Every structure is written in structure tokens, then in C-alpha cells.
Amino acid sequence: MSSHGIRDRVAIVGMGCTPFGEHWTRSADDLLVDAVGEAVTSAGVTLDDIDAFWFGTQASGVSGLTLSRALRLPNKPVTRVENMCATGSEALRNACYAVASGAYDVAMAVGVEKLKDSGMSGLSGTAIPGAGDDSRGEITAPANFSLLAPAYAAKYGLTKEELKDVITRIAWKNHVNGARNPRAQFRKEVPLERIRSAPIVAGMLGVFDCSGVSDGSAAAIVVRAEDAYRYTDKPVFVKALSFVAGPADGLLDPEYDFTTFPEVVASAQEAYRQAGVSDPRTELALAEVHDCFTPTELVLMEDLGFSARGEAWKDVSSGAFDLDGSLPVNPDGGLKAFGHPIGASGLRMMFEAWLQLRGEAPPERTVPSVAQGRSLALTHNLGGGPGECVSFVSIVGSELTE
Amino acid sequence: MAGLIAYGAHVPYHRLARADVAATLGTAPGRGTRAVAGYDEDTTSMAVEAARTALARDGLRARIGQLFLATAAPAYLDKTNATAVHAALRLDEHVLAADMAGSVRSGLGALVTAARSPVPTLAVLSDLRTGLPGGGEEVMGGDGAAAFVFGGHRNGAPVIAELLAHDTVSDELLDRWRLPGAPASRVWEERFAEEIYASHADKALTAALDQAGLDRRAVDHLVVCGLHARACATVRRTAGTRPEAAVPDLTDAIGNAGTAQPGLLLADVLDRAAPGEIIALVVLGDGAGVLLLRTTDALPAHRSARPVAAQITAGSAPMPYATYLSWRGLLDREPPRRPDPEPPYAPPAHRRTAWKYGFVAARCEKCGTRQLPPDRVCACCHSVDAMADEPMEHIRGTVATFTVDRLAHTPSPPMLVVVVDYDGGGRFRCQLTDATEADAVIGARVEMTFRRTVTASGIHNYFWKARPVRTGEMEGTQG
């Protein structure tokens, strides 16, 4: 058995993404219709041209009917997928494989989530139904990811204050980027001191260490690579799609030390193998990573191979992942500034890669690395938490390999 | 020889200063503190904690033939509460578990029933005393539990105190009563019952001493319990025993724990009594009851690992009165903007009784890895269905990482959460209780405690939490 990948077999030829935010006046259906409409316009097609749909949502609907009803699709195949916060990426992966298999010529991946209608704080609509016997000790998402902070500080000899400075800088950087993004939920730069002194939500995490709770939708249209230029001059080719669901043993196994996501390491290595990437830090033009909480982004820099083990905090502090750094990370503002409508986030990340690789991001947040000749982007999307998660890594590029 | 073979007590960690109640409500200042059951404790969970301590000695659990839970504040009506205690103790399914619930006198009932049972019997006395804000019930009440095993009938465990005699006097007496659901009991004019109780106590004590062929002067420890404080004081003074035999009632430090008070006071005496001493336990309430015990040479080696005095000393600094009121449901505070807590579901809870109540994990028979919660596939070697039961309640652990969850739904925010690595292997993430944020640090030592985690949709959820290992108390249980 082996994983073969579909490098350069399919391309994304159209995308759409709604502004993410508190859409009090709009339903999940409204958001879907907008994102899908933008995507088909972008590819110059109509819905009739789409052969099959993969629809991702975690809690804003069940079954393919959620999409087909909203769009009044005429008896098309629609598959609803769910993989926690990586749901949008899972929809894209399935759409890509469907086209690569030859089963369909044109497929669409759509993600949506409507979180703000619940009236709850945090990702309340995403509670995982448990056994109801407290045997799993469920905690809130910020608390779950905050478990990384003391463990990282202890392992690498940082004081609590030093680590707080590092994660504060991650939030600051993503807000700087989000302020330059008209589709982001939060579009203001936030001073370091305000981030640092914000009310605490869980562990070491303040309000600004957490991604926003928002509504939104994003969509992508996938075709065979050889057909791509029929739709656009600037297709984005899929180099790698890698997804793992971990054995979920980190909360069972004392060997796991809460300073890494082994699932991310595994999925990243597989993606680099599929794409033929050997040094992501210098080969990638940008990375969109799952910064659900600031310590997550810190740990991801090491898991994705952008920093050596124990060194990410130094790279963060020196600005290596800033917009003008050696590898821009989350140039669109990330989950932090963009908000995190679960089912849409993976496709929103791909939307930023799409814009940047095509040179269509607003000038004030265009990464310099593309002009310098880099043509690959990585998206990383995870669901779950430290010790048990699912992880997705894609690599896409604006050029076909020789 | 029959008699007492084991005992244990549970004094909750939290304290309320009577002065704080007075300062808040503008009432006359009281002195001392009362013990307060945690927001995550009820009479069932406290009963489990006391019983775990009583059954700490190897092999004792297997000897128990029946279990009685006595309480005036049952967690459930209709449904048996003793079965939750039975499940948490992992007693054999053929062991009778039944409640003696409703009246404070049920504590005496359980003790006497256990003492004269033909099979080794566990009597657990547990109570949570509450009342309207500022009332005598609230300020002078206390919470706690105690457990006693009577047995030793045939070459069994060593008897630590022989039962020399017992007697009871029953009297239909309207000195204290409470309609079901009422927040506090009502009391007739105190002086009415004082003399009646003194007379009942005298009759029962006389009868018991006569049976044992003992003189009142022979009593080394006179323990007088009851909610009628005035009557207790009278009996203590007029019982005819030596003045130094009268045992302090601990009310200043922990309050009067009602149903559990005879248990807590008896446990405290057993914690320090010398071999060969006579204990007279006098319990007042709807009559009187007396148990006469003589400690044996086996007592010093088999005292409780968690002495009452040590638990009193280890108690928290007094909590704010407002916190007490909100824990008791007397102060309705704004909930977090989170979904309501999920109630337990009956089928999964029943399927996983050993885990949920007994904290029984699994050990892989192929590679030896411990796994919490138990599952069919080993997390290490992936063997399927090769798991052996691995009771974990007595295993201590060390905090690997932690957090303070300020968003989670809890009656006492913020929720402290720790990842525990157990001595000898295995890891579990759970709540940390009886603790402050300063206790949640990497490397902290913790032990497990049985708690009521939440009540949702009218259903109590019970599960295990970690608590800091505190100095002054020895290991709680050893399985």
C-alpha cells in the first residue's frame, strides 16, 4: 500500500470567499449562495457546468441537501463531509480526488459555518457528542490548546512571561495582516500591550490569543490540470493533499509532551513527499496555517518544518513569519483575524493561496516572495486538539512541474 | 469475635467562617468555621470518599456482605443512592446496597444494623447540612461523611473495637421536622425536648452498661451527638461519666454534620484512643441510641489513613460567604454564555459503570500499557480485546500540563484542568478540585477523588477528579 498523490493532475480554476464576520442578517444559505456565486463567476462557468459537489459543514446543516436546497441544484451529487475544524479542507480534498479519478470533469468544494446564531461564547455549536458520562473530561477549545503553552515553556526553558511575549507577537502579526484584508473579521491592528494585557480566557491565553467566532463561506472549483487554461489564465495546480486522523493517543500516553502535533508532522512530511519539497522554509512562497490559538501557530512552525525544534519562538520573535519575513505565514490574517467558521476555514486558507499565487492580493499585503520567484503555497488545517487531532496539509503552485 | 474492623471519615476541604456570615448579613458574630461540601460534592460522593478510606486495607472490600447508606440529604429519591457508592467501591454485585434515607437518625440506624448484622456490613453515614441564610442550621451545620465496617465474624480481619453492647430508645417526638423539599428544618422550642432527650440517653446508656456489666466510671470516651445542641450538652454534663471522658464535638471547626456527626466523632476518637479503652457513643434524635465499644490491641495498626484531625487541619482558608451561597443554590448567578451542560445518558453510563464509577482502566495483556479510559484496542501495540481491568482510583500521579478554563460551564469558575501522568504508567486529562490556581502546576502531585461533576436535566453526573496531595494525610486508599 502506498499513497500516490495527484501532483499536477488537477487545478483550481475558480474560487469564492465571503467576508467572514458576524453576519446577523444573513443565513448559512445566504453565505453559501454568495461564495458559490463568486466561485462560478471567477471560473466563468455556471452551476450547470459543475458535475459534483463536496460540501463541508460541521454543525450548520446535515446531508447534501443543505447545499442542494440552498442552490436549488437539479439532481446533482452532493456529499456532505465533516472533519472538525478541517472540514473545509476535507471537502476540497474529496473534490480533487473525484476529478483526478476521472469520475467527473468539474467538481466544486464548498464550506460554510454559521456560528453567531447560537448566542454562545466560543465554538459552542461544535460540541462533540460524548458518552455523556464525563469519561472524557471535555474542556473548551481555548483551554484545550492552552495546554501547549506551559509544556512548551517548560521544555525549552522559557519563562511564562517570555512565552507570553512570543504568542502575543503571533497575534499582533496576524492582526497586522488581517487589517489589510477586506474580507477579514477583524480589520484593525492591535497594539502588543493591548494583546498582552487582554482578559484571560484559558490558561495563558487572553481574548486576543483566540481566533474569532464568525460566520462565512468559501468555495473552489476543481478541474483536470489539462483543462485548466480553458477556464483561467492563472490556474492553481494541486501539488499535494495530505490528511491524517491521528490515533488520538496523546491524552493516553505519557510520552506525548504537548509541544507538538505528531499528526501535523506526519501529514506535512507526506505532503512534502508528494510535492517534492525538501526545504519548505525556502521553497514556499507563503503558508496559511491553523492558528486557532496563538500557541498552536507557534508549535506548527516546528511541526511543519519551518523552524527547528525549540527554535520557533526565536523565529517568531525575529519576524521570520511576518508579511515581509523569510516565509510569510497567514498573510490574510489567519484564523486569528479572519475568524473561524469551522467548515469554511480550510477553503478560506486556499483562497488566500489562490489570491497570492495569482498576484491578486491587495498590494498592501502581497507577499514579496512570489515576485522573488517562489510559486508554491501551503495550507494547513487541523481539527481536534493537542494529543488527538486530524491534520490536513496541501501544497499548491502556480506552475506545472516540468 | 464480632466488632468494628475498619473505619474512615471524609471532611470536605472547604470551610466557611461564621464571622463572614455575620459580617455579610449583619447578624451577631459567631466563632469558628464549618466544613462545606464542595460544589462538586453531595452525600453520595462524600460517602464514597469516606468508604474508600475505611476500605483501604487489602482484602477488605471482598469481605463486605452488605452496604447501608444513611443520609438526611439523599442525592436522589426513589432511586437508590447506595448503589452509586457500591459501584464506586467496586463491590461484588451480590452485595446488598440500600439507603437509610430521610432522617438524621438513619445514621444511628445504619450503625446499629451493621453492628448486629450476621455478615460483615459497611455502614456509611453522610450528610450535607443546609438552611436559610444566616439561620442556625446553616451556621452551625457542617458537611461530611464517615464509614464503618462491622464484621470479623469467623477468622476474619482483626477487630479494632469490640461491640460490648448497644441499646436504643425510640420516641415519636416533634422537636425537629422538615417537609420534603423545604430548605431548612423547623425546630420546636428547644427546652421542650431537652429533658426528654436527657431521660432517653440515660435509659439507653444504663441499659447498655448493664448489658456489658460496666460502671459509668469505666467509660473512657463519652461521645454525644445530635442536632439538639442543648440536649447534647446536658447529657455530656450529667451522664455520670468521668468529666475528662467527654469528647469535644468538633462543632467549632467543622460544624454539626447531622446524620454523619456520630460517625465523624467516633472516627476522631478511634484516631487517638488507646487499646482497651471504652467508648460510649450516644446519639440523640427521635429517642436515643447507645453503642458501647472497647478498643483492642489491633487498633493502633489499623487506624484510618486519613485522621479526622488531619483533615480538619488540611482544610482551606475560609471561602467567601457569597461563594457558599452560590454553591448551595441560594444565590442564582449569571451562567456563562455556553450551552447547558450535557446530562449523562443512561445506556453509556451503565455500559461503562466500572470506568465511570470505579475508575477501572485497562492494562494491555500483550504490552503492559495502561490505558484510561479503557478501550478495546491498545494505544501502544494495537492488540485487540487483550485488556485486563486496571483499577486506578488509588494510583497517584504527576501533573504533565494544565490549564485554567474560564469559559467552561462549572458551578465554581474557573475550571482547573490537569493532564495527569500516573505512577506506573497511564495518562488522563481531568478536572482538578479542592484546589486553587496555584495548585495547577507542572510536576504537582495529585490523587483521585470521586465527585458529582454536574447536575443537568435533573440527573447527577458522577466521575473522578484529581486533587492535590496534601501533607498531613496519608495515602487515601490502596484498593
On whether any CB of chain A is under 8 Å from the CB of B396, the answer is no
Mean pLDDT for A97-122 is 91
Beta carbons of B407 and A127 less than 8 Å apart: no
Name the residue in chain A with its Cα closest to that of B422: A254
pLDDT band at B472 (very low <50, low <70, confident <90, very high): low
Q: What is the pLDDT of residue A390?
A: 97
Please give the Cα distance from A352 to A16 (Å, whole number): 10
pLDDT digits (tens, 9 = 90+) for B235-248: 999 999 999 999 99
Report helix, strand or coil for A150.
Answer: helix
pLDDT digits (tens, 9 = 90+) for B78-92: 999 999 999 999 999
Chain A interface disruption, residue of B407, B432, B446, most A CBs within 10 A: B407
**Cell output for B154:** 469467623
- The verdict on ipTM greater than 0.95 is no
Beta carbons of B342 and A136 less than 8 Å apart: no
User: Taking all residues of chain A, what is their mean pLDDT, rounded to a whole number?
Assistant: 94
Instruction: Out of B337, B425, B461, name the one closest to residue A121 (CB).
Output: B337
Mean pLDDT for A247-262 is 95
Chain B interface disruption, residue of A117, A135, A201, A299, most B CBs within 10 A: A135
Residue B4: pLDDT over 70: yes
The cell 499535494 sits on which residue?
A240
Please name the helix (run of DSSP H) or strand (run of DSSP E) that holds residue A80, with its range, or none.
strand A78-81
DSSP of B266-305: HHHHHHHPPTT-EEEEEEESSEEEEEEEEE-TTGGGG--S
Beta carbons of A332 and A178 less than 8 angstroms apart: yes
The cell 438526611 sits on which residue?
B72
Residue B475: pLDDT over 60: no
Please name the helix (run of DSSP H) or strand (run of DSSP E) that holds residue B115, with its range, or none.
helix B106-115
Interacting residues of B370 by C-beta distance below 8 A, sequence separation 6+: B361, B362, B363, B364, B390, B392, B422, B424, B425, B426
Beta carbons of A143 and B404 less than 8 Å apart: yes
Report helix, strand or coil for A29.
Answer: helix
The mean-pLDDT minimum among A121-125, A182-186, B265-269, B394-398 falls in A121-125
B389 bridge partner residues: B362
pLDDT band at A128 (very low <50, low <70, confident <90, very high): very low
**Cell output for B58:** 487489602
Residue B176: pLDDT over 80: yes
Beta carbons of A287 and A281 less than 8 angstroms apart: no
Residue A394: pLDDT over 80: yes
Nearest CA to A111 among A313, A349, A320?
A349
Beta carbons of B402 and A139 less than 8 Å apart: no
Which residues from A are below 8 Å from B429, CB to CB? 137, 139, 251, 387
pLDDT digits (tens, 9 = 90+) for A191-229: 999 999 999 999 999 999 999 999 999 999 999 999 999
pLDDT digits (tens, 9 = 90+) for B19-48: 999 999 998 888 999 999 999 999 999 999
Q: CB pairs below 8 Å between A and B: how many? A: 130
Q: What is the pLDDT of residue B340?
A: 78
Residue B286: pLDDT over 90: yes
> What percent of chain A clears pLDDT 90, i.e. is strictly above it?
91
Report helix, strand or coil for B465.
Answer: strand
